[in-house]
Amino acid sequence: MQDLRIVLLGTSSGTPTRTRNVSSLAMILDGRVLLFDCGEGTQHQLLRAPVRTGAIEAIFVSHLHGDHVYGLPGLLATLSMNGRTRPLDLVGPESLRAYVETTLATSFHHPSFEIRITTPPYRGHGFTVTAAPLEHSVECLGYCVIEDDRPGHFDVARARALGIPPGPLYGELARAGDPRVCGPPRRGRRIAFVTDTRPCASAVALAHEADALIHESTYGEELRTEAAERFHSTAREAARVASDARVQRLILTHFSARYGDVAPLVEEAREVFPNTIAADDLLEVHVAAR
């Protein structure tokens, strides 16, 4: 896998605002697309983003609150109208099956493709998606996309010393990670998506040493009591999770609609975890290989 990108499609919590849609995120892996949550309006965001809707391989749902799933039935209908025939995997809590099957039945929609509804983990081509339970008011899952380990760097000088002639064989040995001419395997990239939740040990474990953690930041510290009551996190709490998990960078998302300017939330988080940015709708983040 070469290209790994994150595209934030919706970064508002609960309701959309003039500048933020509700929750959704796309991850692009060498052209294949994984979608995480699908709030209302996600289809419009996909039209605005550098994301091919037809390339969606699987959709992962964190939980069944409306701002995370109300866009799913419409997206499934559009995929049918666009003539999709290959299967689509929907991954999420056990309750996802009842939601999807009931919605399709009561709206008289008969998809043109097979919908496979499963619980995590999920195995894709060159990656695995794991999950962990979070602490929210309903059953909720956090996800981590884990790229397979990559072969070690190819040592041309060593290959020549062994008498291996230059040419296609070099590529074959490099792809195979032949220990005679390759260094130790390189750890695959890891991207964690954690929303909605109180800060918790399972989130820290899920995001352990991730290259990027996308974590909900619904409130600032001035509303930490409300955050606890509603099973959400403040920006500072998200930063503590990032610090405890020893991630490379933190991307804050899922902001309450009351925050027209989220710069104060970023400042709060950076006091704990300096390498923090705020997500904006349609923000694109490239994740380089280690």
> Please, what are the domains in the chain?
4-150+186-286 (3.60.15.10), 152-185 (no CATH)
Q: What is the pLDDT of residue 175?
A: 84
Low-confidence ranges of the chain (pLDDT < 50): none
User: What confidence score (pLDDT) does residue 177 get?
Assistant: 87
**pLDDT at position 239:** 98
Alpha helices per DSSP H over the chain: 42-48, 66-69, 72-81, 95-106, 156-161, 168-176, 201-206, 224-229, 235-245, 263-270
What distance in Å separates the CA atoms of residue 139 and residue 288, rounded to the nearest whole number?
A: 33
pLDDT at residue number 2? 86
Contact 97, 89 (CB under 8 A): no
Provide the pLDDT for residue 211. 98
C-alpha closest to that of 207 among 171, 239, 163, 172: 239
Query: From the CB of residue 79, how many other CB atoms can be counted at a distance below 10 Å?
Result: 21
Vertex 115 angle, CA 113 and 119, to 5°: 160
The predicted structure's pLDDT at residue 109: 93
One-letter identity of residue 65: H
Rounded to the nearest 5°, which phi and psi values hold at 154?
Answer: -80, 130
Retrieve residue 35's tokens: 């979608």
- 145-187 pLDDT, tens digit each: 999 998 888 899 999 999 999 899 988 988 888 899 999 988 9
How far apart are alpha carbons 234 and 155 in whole angstroms? 47
Point out the residues that are catalytic: 67
